[in-house]
Structure 1
Amino acid sequence: MSNRETIEDLRSWLTWLEEEEHLAHVTERVHWDQELSGIVRRTYDIYGDASPAMLFENIEDYEAPKPNKLFIGQFRSYSRICMMLGLDPVESTRRDIGLVIKERLNTLVPPVTATEAPVHDVVDTGDAINVLKFPVPYFHDRDGGRYVGTMHAVITKDPDSGWVNLGMYRVMVHGPDELGIYFRPGRQHIGLHSLKYLERNEPMPVAIAIGIDPRMTFVAAGNIPATTSEYDIAGSLAGHPMEVVQGKTVDLPVPAKAEIVIEGFVHPDDWKVEGPFGEYPGYYGEVPDPSPVMRVTAVTHREDPIFQASLEGHPVNETHIIGSLMKAGTLWNAFEYNGVPGVKDIACLPESAGGHLVVSITPTVPAHADWIATVAWSHSAVIWSYKHIFVVDDDIDPWDFGQVSWAMAWRVKASEDIKIWKNQRGSPIDPRQEPEAKGYWDRVLIDATRP
């Protein structure tokens, strides 16, 4: 049995992290209002990739027997990602991780359905609903509110095909039974589902799963192709099917062993101002703007549930690392599918928060770098990432920006090797863009290969 098969849920994952000395228990009293996030930020800044995962067990206003635990930091270490995937955390490189993800993205392992599940140990409906029964942090001093969804999976379903999507879209608390989900109809996979419900003038059922098998959160933050369910990819990463159960008030499959599931509906024309939020570029995102509202119909959870969160903001944090590896895996497949030769390694640098993509190649055809850029900029992640693409020779480690910088300095002739595409579709939370230009940015290709 490989290591990755020993993970059944968040609790078994925590047990394994404890055994491998990757888990730090924070037992000192900590306030959920910015103190907790400050501790996490300081840990990441000091320890970097050696940062432990942290289990906070003494949070202000959240004493036992109420839900009183918060887990954070599982993906701030490449070693823990290797553990999750069954790779040697000492010998494996980031290239190895990307190639394993590439291969497992090509195999689908659909989930199996249970009739009973630990996530239904406690079921709150009606007046009993209160999403703040869990220790939801207030992360940054200018955030629009407390964010219950930062390391989770938002689950929706295509009403025509039945395609189930798991995505990681930020979720702000408006009230005990009212949440704001940051998405727009037509944008991202949840937006594709939303369009269909809007056309029908029907509410869209939604479930938010928190504290789940790490493979599920890993792929929920990735760029899985449309019509493919993240449940199937998580099963492939795990080497066995994920286990799901029918929601209590929504017609959606939810993770059977999740710590927490919040169920509800997004109704047409029900929008409310959401944000701002300290986002992945290291700045606050868009100017606060209305986002769809989720009306909560049920909150289910295990006994003594463990809440889970992620600190967003200045790199490097968990989602920067997830993004760097998932994007590498999907791009390996994209280059292969499009017949691009000579690709040696792919790095979507986490230090750039996804803005820099570096591809090392053995140049074999004219305009090889242009071909790389054409394929990468047609990828689904292009709206949020790959603002700048650097193509380097195979003697350069694309993960080492020192080497990349050297190649840029001495293998680039600016008049020939730097190309700019203006006003391309881009991230709506790029801080460089003026408010009226949000959603567009300039793209740059730098060919830093030898002539």
Structure 2
Amino acid sequence: MKYYGDLRSFITALDEMGDIMHVQREVDGDFEPSAITRRSYEIQSPAPLFHKVAGVAPGFRLFGAPAALSSRSDMPYARVAMSLGLAPESSGPEIIEALSAARFKPGIPPVRVESAQAECQQNILRGDAANLDRFPIPFAHDKDGGRYANTWGTLIVKTPDGKWVNWSIARVMKVDGKRMVGLIVPSQHIGQIWTQWVARGEPMPYALVQGPAPAISCVSGIPIPANADEADYIGTLAGEPVPVVKAVSLDLDVPATAEIVIEGHVSIERDCQEGPYGEYGGYLGEGSSAQPTFHVETITHRDDPIWPMSITGRPTDESHTLWAMGLAADALTYLREAELPIKTTWIPEDSTVHWLLVVMPENWRELLPGVSSEELTQRIGEVLFKTDAMVFIPKVYVVDDDFDPTNLREVVWALSTRVHPVGRRAVFDDQRVIRLPQCYDEAEYVAGKGAKVVFDTLQTKRHLHASFAQGYPEEVRQRILDNWPE
């Protein structure tokens, strides 16, 4: 296992295992990098690294699909695992266990270094020179409202009293060289902090960080409890403190090894239109909304900087790997805190974060004596639907552990044969919903409430599978494996 402290060492490691596609020809500055990245997701190719982008200075690069499924079929979650300092061959459930376990360990706070030691401040741009037009920011999709300056970067903000520093990912659209507009949802952590600045009547200082250590990008996109600092949690995952440096123009610390840092203030009003944007559900966006303006005041960057991007859409991209694992880890943490004997949780990538599988061990009835599967299903729903992360997930399946939840073919087989057509489910009405899932009607979106469901697919009797693993004597199976292929 190795922790990668900057984006460049991570890209080198991926390259050594054959998981980087070097695009050396010049690509246009509008759609070509995004279209290539989107295709790379859909055919599971190596991650594209664009060395020449039209309209920007030589040396400025783009990096697509940083945490998507690997092109290595023997280690599909390698990009996520390596981002978090885990072995590239780690399975999805092993990654989820690591994310959940770190929640119970003491945080390791970041350590501040001097500006001279911080690669992110090799170049400092102020005033008119601090302009987004010099960077290769493409359109993510052709129906988007503009070029999206943030799809895989980390937004750093803190409360006015300085007690809570939040690192998060939120989509941010470029308006012009000196302005961006970002989606700020009141219930999300950045929205809670922005609301405090609004109450004071002061614009919120922010730093938008592109290309920090991969673990920073990953953790910025997953749920951890409010008032917890992501930097401390990342230190726990890494086993070492994150090096940070004071921002040039703000009282914020930023990751010292980042590629690019944009500094400025966020308006106290929703004074600019943001969107539409093609989101993780797999549909091109429609409509826009009034959101706060992010004013660009200072930009710092490394020599020959790399701008990473996630081009969301149909599976599988970072929304369906890293974010889904983060939501599953959050669910696992709360269920285990409720003293339920959960084996693992999993969100299949192809469900676009609309399904959560809660996997029970074979002996769960012994561990919960006197509890029926119906009661267990109800308890699971009561725990999960109180959490913030479950606002994104409308359907939960409680399943046995006799199949691989990370294998979509097995998931489809198990759910199609075990979900009762009418009964064996717990329905939770009037749950909080948002517009990102596509399964609700307009009245429910307007009300912000809709139904969610937990399906009980647990078997009262385990049935043997008509499969190679369970349909033949062990000695026959072993003889076949020893001689395969014949």
TM-score of the aligned structures, taking structure 2 as reference length: 0.86
Q: Which runs of 5+ in 1 are unaligned?
A: none
Query: Structure 2 CA distance, aligned partners of 1:435 and 1:248?
Result: 45
Residue 125 (structure 2) aligns with: 124
Q: Name the structure 2 match of 1:428.
A: 435
Contact kept, 8 Å, 1:382 with 1:426, in 2: the verdict is no
Aligned match of 1:359: 358
- The match for 2:9 is 12
Aligned equivalent of 1:312 = 312
Residue aligning to 2:81: 82
| CA–CA separation in structure 2 for the residues paired with 1:396 and 1:368 | 20
TM-fit CA distance, 1:270: 4.8
* Equivalent runs, 1:304-383 vs 2, <5 Å: 304-341=304-341, 343-362=342-361, 363-364=364-365, 365-366=371-372, 367-383=375-391
2:420 paired with 1:413: yes
Match of 2:475 in 1: none
Number of residue-to-residue matches in the alignment: 439
Residue type of the alignment partner of 1:154: L
RMSD of aligned Cα (Å): 1.8
**Unaligned 5+ runs, structure 2:** 71-76, 366-370, 461-486
Aligned counterparts of 2:377 and 2:286: Cα–Cα separation in 1: 32
1:95 deviates by 1.2
* Correspondences of 1:27-38 after superposition (within 5 Å): 27-38=24-35
**1:209 Cα offset (Å):** 0.2
Q: Does 1:147 align with 2:139?
A: no
Once the 2 structures are TM-superposed, how far is the Cα of residue 420 of structure 1 from its aligned partner?
A: 3.1
Deviation at 1:392, TM superposition (A): 0.8
Aligned partner letter, 1:12: S
- 1:29-68, CA deviations, whole angstroms, 9 ceiling, x for partnerless residues? 2113122211112222122xxx31221012121241xx52
The equivalent residue for 1:100 is: 98
Q: Are residues 286 and 156 of structure 1, via their aligned partners in 2, closer, same or farther at CA, if it must alter by over 3 Å? A: farther
Q: What is residue 114 of structure 1 aligned with on the other side?
A: 113
Letter in 2 for 1:369: T
* Contact residue 360 and residue 396 of structure 1 kept, 8 A: no
Moved more, 419-428 or 23-32: 419-428
Does the aligned pair in 2 maintain the 1:323–1:350 contact within 8 Å?
Answer: no
Partner residue of 1:449?
A: 458
Closer/same/farther in 2, CA of residues 32 and 106 from structure 1, 3 Å limit = farther
Match of 1:176 in 2: 177
CA–CA separation in structure 2 for the residues paired with 1:440 and 1:133:
43
Matches within 5 A, 1:11-90: 11-47=8-44, 51-64=45-58, 68-76=60-68, 77=70, 78-90=77-89
Q: Whole-Å Cα distance in 2 between the matches of residues 187 and 286 of structure 1?
A: 22
2:36 and 2:48 in contact (8 A); partners too: no
How far does residue 242 in structure 1 lie from its aligned partner after superposition?
A: 0.5
Report the alpha carbon displacement of residue 334 of structure 1 after superposing the two structures with TM. Answer: 1.1
The 8 Å contact of residues 285 and 429 in structure 1, kept in 2 or not, is answered as: no
How far has the Cα of 1:285 moved from its partner? 4.1
Q: Supply the distance in 1 between the matched residues of 2:150 and 2:42 (Cα, whole angstroms).
A: 23
- Correspondence list, 1:267-286, <5 A: 267-285=267-285
**Deviation by residue 1:91-115 (Cα, 9 ceiling, x = unmatched):** x321111112221232311100112
CA–CA distance in structure 2, aligned partners of residues 338 and 346 of structure 1: 15
TM-score by length of 1: 0.93
- For the 8 Å contact 2:167–2:229, the answer to whether it is kept is yes
Q: CA deviation at 1:125?
A: 1.6
Whether 2:399 is the aligned partner of 1:392: answer yes
Q: In structure 2, what is the Cα distance between the partners aligned to 1:387 and 1:123?
A: 46
Q: Aligned equivalents of 2:61 and 2:417: distance in 1? A: 52
Structure 2 matches for 1:153-192, cutoff 5 A? 153-184=154-185, 186-192=186-192
Instruction: Give the SS at the match of 1:21.
Output: coil
> Retained in 1: the 8 A contact 2:66–2:308?
no
Q: For 1:368 and 1:444, how far apart are their aligned partners in 2? A: 13
Question: What is the aligned-residue identity percentage?
Answer: 35
Could you tell me which amino acid in structure 2 is paired with residue 448 of structure 1? T
The structural deviation recorded for 1:162 is 2.0
Q: Residue 396 of structure 2: SS of its match in structure 1?
A: strand
Distance 2:31 2:433 in 1: 30
* AA in 2 matched with 1:138: F
Q: How far is the alpha carbon of 1:411 from its aligned partner?
A: 3.0
